[in-house]
Amino acid sequence: MDDEQVMLDVRAGDVGKLELLFDRHHRALFRYFLHLTANRAVSEDLVQEVFFRILKYRHTYQPGTRFCAWMFQVGRHVHVDHAVRHKAEVAMPERGWDVGSGELPPDRQAQNRQETALLRRALAAMPPEKREVIVMSRFLDLKYEEIASVLKCETGAVKVRVYRALRELSDRFFALCGERAS
Amino acid sequence: MICERVRERIPECLTGSLDHAARESLLAHLETCPACRAELADLNAVWRGLGSLPEPEPDPAMRGRFLEVLEAYQAGRASGPGRQVMNLPHKWQAGLAFALLLVGVCLGRYVAEPRGASPDVARLQGQVESLRQLVTLSLLQEQSPSSRLRGVTYSYQMAQPDAQVEQALLYAVNHDSNVNVRLSAVDALEKYAANPRIRRALADAVPVQDSPLVQIALVDLLVQLNDKEAAPALRKLAQDAQADNQVRQHAAWAIQRMEVSQ
């Protein structure tokens, strides 16, 4: 059964089926919040809050709306509320998520770890609205139409935003690589 | 201009979501444009790097916590807000149990004795009501949002509107740091909305809220109350360019509803 049908059942009162949607999407939501807040505990709380609001406001879900897009709209509101309460954006920690390097030689593993750390640092330094479109397009695999629906803008605007955000990330990353090399 | 349009499509090219014709057109441009080729190489390195960032997993206990909330919600729906007393701290449960026991004893005496003992019953019922008020106010002042939520839910059990609880709920709507507490407080204030002062306070709370969801909940309540005096504030909100788009649309819808019901 697809997400939209499950959500319609939840909306009709079969709220137990929300468990199914939680199982399918809580990881993606968690990663979305983790990229925005850099805090595991906060991200887990925000995921809970999203599903609480979906439960409470299930009647506002409109048939024909992609569930993922609607869920991330709720997620954005939850994050905005959180950000208002905790004014300063938190920087992404440099350490914390170890990269599995498999069978690579030690020097290559060390280089990979270094590049990953620099990329994460560059991503953390991005303005939140640019980081958000990268997270949506790269980590959540949302289509441009879906991102447009979440951000309430035209698909063409999303293309431009993703390109500009990626361009800025690239500039920041190579600048950090240059600093490290020199 | 051509380069700019081509570059905007690079992310789509990297995800493989370009259709055949667009991809061919982009590749043809790259063959003749070294600057765009360099751009693609840079962005490709970053895009691939993003793909190799580890994907952290949430704590598995999170699922259990969600299921607890879901089960509690289902149980609450099945039995109504009265069940919430089971979530109270033990000291309050004990206090309530004692007060209810006293009411039971008194009711027994009321049945057994000639008419005229009713002032005792009324006094004890008043004590139970006071205890409920005390529990509600205490929970609303707790640090934990879940305790404050219980406080809001507990306010439903009060037989009569109470000025102090009313003020505490209004304070929660306007100042609580947790959106869920604010939303629940909005719901709870419906019981007090016969009072024009409360309706005013609810209307005044709409523009100052920073959460679109709370704003929408407040607008819904004003529509439900058919509070015509709130119409000017809603009209202003519907035209406020700073307000959230959904909130503006909702305010416009609310005005229409109120006009239709006139």
The interface predicted TM-score of the complex, written ipTM, equals: 0.76
Name residue, tokens 């307000």.
B243
Of the three residues B181, B211, B243, the one that is the final residue of a domain is B181
Nearest to B56 among A97, A123, A159 (CB): A97
Q: How many domains does chain B have?
A: 3
- Taking CB atoms and an 8 Å cutoff, what residues of chain A touch B183? 56
In a domain, B208, yes or no: yes
Structure tokens belonging to residue B216: 């929408």
Q: What is the pLDDT of chain A when averaged over all its residues?
A: 83
Statement to judge: residues B217 and B253 lie in one domain? yes
Listed as ranges, residues in chain B with pLDDT below 70 are 1, 76-132, 262
CA distances B174 to B161, B195, B206, B207, B214, Å, are: 19, 18, 9, 11, 10
Sign of torsion over alpha carbons B142, B145, B151, B154? negative
Domain residue ranges in chain A: 3-85, 106-181
In a domain, B252, yes or no: yes
In a domain, B103, yes or no: yes
Is B72 part of the contact surface with chain A (CB cutoff 8 Å)?
Answer: no
Q: Is residue A95 predicted with pLDDT exceeding 50?
A: no
- Taking CB atoms and an 8 Å cutoff, what residues of chain B touch A144? 12, 17
Burial of residue B22, with CB atoms counted within 10 A of its CB: 0-12 exposed, 13-18 middle, 19 or more buried: middle
Cβ neighbours of residue B220 closer than 8 Å, sequence gap 6 or more = B250, B254
Distance separating alpha carbons of residues B187 and B230, to the nearest angstrom? 17
* One-letter amino acid of B34: P
Structure tokens belonging to residue A37: 């807040």
Cβ neighbours of residue B178 closer than 8 Å, sequence gap 6 or more = B145, B148, B149
For the domain A3-85, what is the CATH code? Answer: 1.10.1740.10
Distance to chain B for A159, nearest Cα, Å: 6
Statement to judge: residues B168 and B204 lie in one domain? no
Per 3-state DSSP, chain B is made up of helix, strand and coil in percentages (nearest 5) of 80, 0, 20
Distance separating alpha carbons of residues B75 and B58, to the nearest angstrom? 27
Name the architecture of domain A106-181: Orthogonal Bundle (1.10)
- Taking CB atoms and an 8 Å cutoff, what residues of chain B touch A116? 49, 52-54
- Which contiguous run of DSSP H or E holds residue B120? helix B118-140
In a domain, B236, yes or no: yes
Distance separating alpha carbons of residues B188 and B221, to the nearest angstrom? 10
Is B224 part of the contact surface with chain A (CB cutoff 8 Å)?
Answer: no
pLDDT of B56: 83
Domain span including residue B177: 84-181
- Taking CB atoms and an 8 Å cutoff, what residues of chain A touch B47? 138, 166
- Read off the pLDDT of residues B4-57 as tens digits, 9 standing for 90 and up: 788 888 888 887 778 888 888 888 898 899 988 988 888 998 998 888 888 888
Three-state SS at A116: helix
Statement to judge: residues B96 and B129 lie in one domain? yes
